[in-house]
Structure 1
């Protein structure tokens, strides 16, 4: 690799093209954030990063520290990330939708002692840190002259900062228990940018030219490790939206002169739901990078908007180390095909006994890097969970939990998720995490959460509730609303139940564990029944 850190890659492009546009904030995002629209040039960004780097260094932050970032998708997120990375400090992105229970866990588990945060969330973070028993400080993103001094010396001060240095700690929902912290090194991020820059064929990346628009959150791997890193590695301009606005997305693409667009499956569905217009093709986008487009929407979208949606597969744990992408013909549009294996990755599809399955038969996707080091460019492990890391890497292969089939020509097709994870609008939601909060409601005896199909969002959260014997069930709608309000107070809005079904009992195994297969069948059938309350209207972003 040409660079040893993310900061090095940023500085190299800034030196090469100081007068070019690095970030472009279009009007909708500018209005949402109350910041100025328009471009920030590479040279200006480099100066901001250097001021922050010096301030953090003066305050005693260094190699091995972790600092939280609750900055949404604002330019400040990138400036603070690069400045801290220069010092060997790992950043812990904090989803702005998180509430008390989630924040307490994240702060306690990651052991961050500082968070750079939007001022209106500082009190929430400090309260969560107090609940977690952690010494903790917050600072506003523009407080360059008031960085709270570090309470501890850098844990790895004697070690050189380089490719293996932890760059970020990203939390991902697991199949059981709490979210896991994925430790991601500099080489993980740099490889993602390099891989993207070298895609070629149907997905060429022109050096110092592309303008990449994404509405995806910077606390997720797609925006943080792919769209951001390819701009750092190949140059060009990043158009980071605050979120996806279906009514104004195309106008934002035009205003920003975007040439590559990032998407998730829910986005094409929303854009297609609007009336067709003669201006639908009035943009400069050449291709889209994403995953999960609904089969029935794939071809109609491309015909209407005039650019291909190129499907890919990756996970937070794999990054680009095992990414598979349909950037070569044939793409098999409308089939959930995400491409063929490249030489840098090895792939197996196995049954429940670990035996390889025949072509055409779905199996769990196992991946590893080709060559001597099967873990090269993958995540470094789950923080404080060596058992889970070993389990994920059983028998020398990373077990993805995704069900995939392969055809005779070597094309891979996504089938379903083996994991008990609900995926709503691109967000992974752990059923167990939601259940642990629901079970704290005074009327709830026990609960079980599963995915139910949603035409727009892919999955919606459905909660089966067994009430306590002394609970008042005379007004089920009010009780359901109370349960959802309880969840909204402690969890990000998208994790709260969109349906609450009151049931007499949960499906259980002989050992009294939830029978997840039967629960999934119930969740598909329950919406529309009298004892299943639709609470989706309560699920709104909280300011």
Structure 2
């Protein structure tokens, strides 16, 4: 395993890895006859990756891109995403991955907030990107990745340096904030390499063998899990990342077998969907040694392991710090929402609202830091252009995760719930405040309160409680009103953020300062989904088709 030093950069580590592991596979696309690209699959070795990255570096540099520039990548889960990211990082360019489900207003926000200097876009996403660019105040150049060599636009302001340092921004990943629009988490070279090294050295059942592992990760490359956590663990250990285009339960096992995967990454929704597949004699016909993920339902945990024959290791991480905690040391606490203990490099406190430690067994917010001497070491660099939010998250010298946990007498941490006003749906973090703000722009909505409700497949779903304006209060055609509200959400929000449930009410309780009291809308122990007048819109939530 390569051990990056304190001043290591991504480009330097790639060169070391290519020299050490040259002929080994680094990136793999599994075969998929239904896929328009690489239907027979594709493998890129370390040496091939280094050569391709050098070619991309030469092209970027010749066009004037380098230290200080930010480039948006809208390449979905293509292997080219990682090649472009590596090339950009080696030149000091910061990568801004783009969620392909973003609507034009969300794209416009990203373009303006990150002030990207260029966008590299799939041809199938070009029309959508242009629609977002038209709504943005800032107008950066853009190119399809197929035209990259022939038509790369020159940098508007050419770079003068191409020598990044460990603290140079490598990525800006957008994560849902609690007060509205997403925040841009700035991640340095040091952060990304430290995340991979931390994963690869967790010990116990998380053991990377000298010959390398084959990590099957179906999660999107615009998230921290696939593009940073598993990828850099692979790069540092001579392993490979198997990158499918998207999770499909009917394709999962075939791809895992075809690619001889030894590690799989999962979310709770993936486990649920795999468990409802009909039992098969091939359930244990695979090479998987362990799964890494979060959110498995406690009642499915042991049953999954028994049926499929490998442990699901529950972990905790977030974009601001993805040096993971994981329950990998036997005996594990299967089915208890346990996710590991504090370790050197991640100190943990469990605190009440006043910041005071709570006794073991008592729920409290999880606060973390690297150490007393260097609390922010290997964490994110901060929220882009939002020092106030960064310092608020770090108040008292500890990072406030917003997750409520308990700690038992052995030091094991157990997840309870999210303290932040965040909805977790199929691995996507959705800010209730962002959905509320958009709903309030509908001409019929007077007040909106958005919250999470349980979902048997997606973990959580979005529920919108809506007070209508007087002119719409007695609308007879509720179907037309619901369609109008949903179409409005589709126009301004990624499909997964739209309400899956809608409930109309005459009143939403507020405090004397007009803050909504969500805990008072429904009584204790009430499942809102079962209430009269609740409208189930989940079947309406679908990804938009790609446009050529």
Q: Which residue of 1 aligns with 2:410?
A: 409
Equivalent positions of 1:12-411 (< 5 A) are 12-28=16-32, 31-36=34-39, 37-142=41-146, 143-154=148-159, 157=160, 160-320=163-323, 323-370=324-371, 372-411=373-412
Q: Which residue of 1 aligns with 2:533?
A: 531
**Greater mean alpha carbon deviation, residues 195-204 or residues 127-136:** 127-136
Q: 2:281 and 2:161 mapped to 1: Cα distance?
A: 62
Q: 2:448 and 2:348 mapped to 1: Cα distance?
A: 37
SS at match of 2:272: helix
**Greater mean alpha carbon deviation, residues 338-347 or residues 176-185:** 338-347
Q: Is the 8 A contact 1:126 1:137 kept in 2?
A: no
Q: Which residue of 2 aligns with 1:501?
A: 503
Q: 2:353 and 2:45 mapped to 1: Cα distance?
A: 52
Q: 1:354 and 1:314 mapped to 2: Cα distance?
A: 21
Q: Which residue of 1 aligns with 2:431?
A: 430
Q: 2:34 and 2:11 mapped to 1: Cα distance?
A: 29
Residue 533 of structure 1 and its aligned partner are, at CA, apart by 1.0
Residue 273 of structure 1 and its aligned partner are, at CA, apart by 1.0
Q: Which residue of 2 aligns with 1:5?
A: 9
SS at match of 1:31: coil
Q: 1:451 and 1:25 mapped to 2: Cα distance?
A: 35
Q: Is the 8 A contact 1:424 1:459 kept in 2?
A: yes
Deviations 1:366-422 (A, max 9, x none): 000025211000000001111111100001000111111111111111111111000
SS at match of 1:279: helix
Deviations 1:99-135 (A, max 9, x none): 0121111111000021111123223323323322112
SS at match of 1:116: strand
Q: 2:513 and 2:37 mapped to 1: Cα distance?
A: 54
Q: 1:522 and 1:477 mapped to 2: Cα distance?
A: 30
Residue 468 of structure 1 and its aligned partner are, at CA, apart by 1.8
SS at match of 2:454: strand
Equivalent positions of 1:446-461 (< 5 A) are 446-461=447-462
SS at match of 1:168: strand
Q: Is the 8 A contact 2:522 2:528 kept in 1?
A: no
Q: 1:523 and 1:82 mapped to 2: Cα distance?
A: 50
Deviations 1:70-125 (A, max 9, x none): 11111110111011111100010100000012111111100002111112322332
SS at match of 1:247: helix
Provide closer, same or farther for how the CA distance between residues 23 and 481 of structure 1 changes in structure 2, counting only shifts above 3 A: same
Q: Which residue of 2 aligns with 1:487?
A: 489
TM-score of the two chains, using structure 2 as the length reference: 0.95
Q: Is the 8 A contact 1:453 1:524 kept in 2?
A: no
SS at match of 1:482: helix
Is 1:445 the counterpart of 2:446? The answer is yes
Q: Which residue of 2 aligns with 1:475?
A: 477
Residue 181 of structure 1 and its aligned partner are, at CA, apart by 0.5
SS at match of 1:367: strand
SS at match of 1:248: helix
Q: 2:215 and 2:79 mapped to 1: Cα distance?
A: 15
Provide closer, same or farther for how the CA distance between residues 512 and 33 of structure 1 changes in structure 2, counting only shifts above 3 A: farther
Q: 1:159 and 1:235 mapped to 2: Cα distance?
A: 27
Provide closer, same or farther for how the CA distance between residues 308 and 532 of structure 1 changes in structure 2, counting only shifts above 3 A: same
Aligned length: 538
Deviations 1:265-294 (A, max 9, x none): 111111111121221000000001111111
Q: Which runs of 5+ in 2 are unaligned?
A: none
RMSD: 1.7
Residue 260 of structure 1 and its aligned partner are, at CA, apart by 0.3
Q: Is the 8 A contact 2:66 2:161 kept in 1?
A: no
SS at match of 1:121: helix
Q: 1:204 and 1:178 mapped to 2: Cα distance?
A: 39
Q: 1:369 and 1:209 mapped to 2: Cα distance?
A: 28
Q: 1:276 and 1:431 mapped to 2: Cα distance?
A: 38
Residue 519 of structure 1 and its aligned partner are, at CA, apart by 4.2
Residue 178 of structure 1 and its aligned partner are, at CA, apart by 1.1
Deviations 1:28-69 (A, max 9, x none): 3x6334334132222222222111111100010111110001
Q: 2:188 and 2:448 mapped to 1: Cα distance?
A: 38
TM-score of the two chains, using structure 1 as the length reference: 0.96
Residue 324 of structure 1 and its aligned partner are, at CA, apart by 1.4
Q: 2:524 and 2:108 mapped to 1: Cα distance?
A: 33
Provide closer, same or farther for how the CA distance between residues 144 and 158 of structure 1 changes in structure 2, counting only shifts above 3 A: closer
**Greater mean alpha carbon deviation, residues 224-233 or residues 304-313:** 224-233
Residue 523 of structure 1 and its aligned partner are, at CA, apart by 11
Residue 158 of structure 1 and its aligned partner are, at CA, apart by 5.5
Provide closer, same or farther for how the CA distance between residues 432 and 189 of structure 1 changes in structure 2, counting only shifts above 3 A: same
Q: 2:342 and 2:326 mapped to 1: Cα distance?
A: 8
Residue 171 of structure 1 and its aligned partner are, at CA, apart by 0.6
